[in-house]
Amino acid sequence: MSSATARRGALGSTGTARRAGRPRTGQAAVGRPGSVWALPATVFFGLFALVPLVATVWMSFVTWGGIGDPRFVGLDNWTRIGQDSLLLKSIGLTVVLVLLSIAVQTPVSLLLGVWAAGQQRARAAVVAIWFIPLLLSSAAISVLWRALLDPNFGIPGSAPWLFGDGNLFGHQGTAIAVLVFVSTWQYTPFHTLIYQGGARGIPAVLYQAASLDGAGMVRQFFSITLPQLKNTVVTSLILMLVGGLTTFETVLILTNGGPGTDTLVSPLYMYQKAFSSFDFGGASVIAVALVVVATAISLIVVKFSGYGEMRSQAEGV
Partner 1 sequence: MTTRPNWIAGTLAAIWLAVVALPLYAMVTATLQTRTGYAANGPLSLPFGDFTFSNYVDAFDTGFAQYFLNTLFVTVAVVLVVLLLVPPLAYAIVRSTSPLVRGVFRVFLLGLAVPAQAVIVPIFYLISVAGLYYNLLGVILPTAAFALPVCTLILSGVMRDISPELYEAMSMDGATPFRAFFRLVLPLSKGGLATIVVFSALQAWNGFLFPLILTQSDDTRVVTLGLFNFQTQYGVNIPGLLAAVVLSMIPILVLYLFARRALVQGLIGVGGK
Residues between 245 and 264 that touch partner 1 (CB under 8 A):
245-246, 248-249, 252-253
Binding residues for partner 1 restricted to 61-90, rule: CB under 8 A: 64, 70
* Angle, CA 301 vertex, CA 296 and CA 302 arms, to 5°: 95
Provide the 3-class DSSP secondary structure of residue 261: coil
Least distance (Å) between residue 99 CB and partner 1: 19
The answer to whether 53 contacts partner 1 (rule: CB under 8 A) is yes
H/E run at residue 212:
helix 204-212
Least distance (Å) between residue 299 CB and partner 1: 9
Least distance (Å) between residue 32 CB and partner 1: 5
Q: Hey, how many other C-beta atoms are within 10 angstroms of the C-beta on 163?
A: 17
Least distance (Å) between residue 76 CB and partner 1: 16
Binding residues for partner 1 restricted to 98-137, rule: CB under 8 A: 108, 111-112, 114-120, 123, 126, 128-137
Residues 6+ apart with CB under 8 A from 177: 168
Site map for partner 1, 140-179, x if CB under 8 A?
Answer: x--xxxxxx-x--xxx-xx---------------------
Helix axes 85-116, 121-130, angle to 10 degrees: 160
In the chain, the DSSP E strands lie at: 62-63, 71-72
Report d(CA 303, CA 295) in Å as an integer: 12
Least distance (Å) between residue 260 CB and partner 1: 18
> What does each C-alpha distance from 55 to 51, 64, 90, 281 come to in angstroms?
6, 13, 24, 11
Taking CB under 8 A as the binding criterion, the range among 77-85, 97-105, 167-175, 267-275 that sits at the site for partner 1 is 267-275
Site map for partner 1, 199-228, x if CB under 8 A?
Answer: ---x-x--x---------x-----------
Quick one: the chain helix, strand, coil %, rounded to 5?
70, 0, 25
Binding residues for partner 1 restricted to 268-287, rule: CB under 8 A: 270-271, 274-275, 280, 283-284, 287
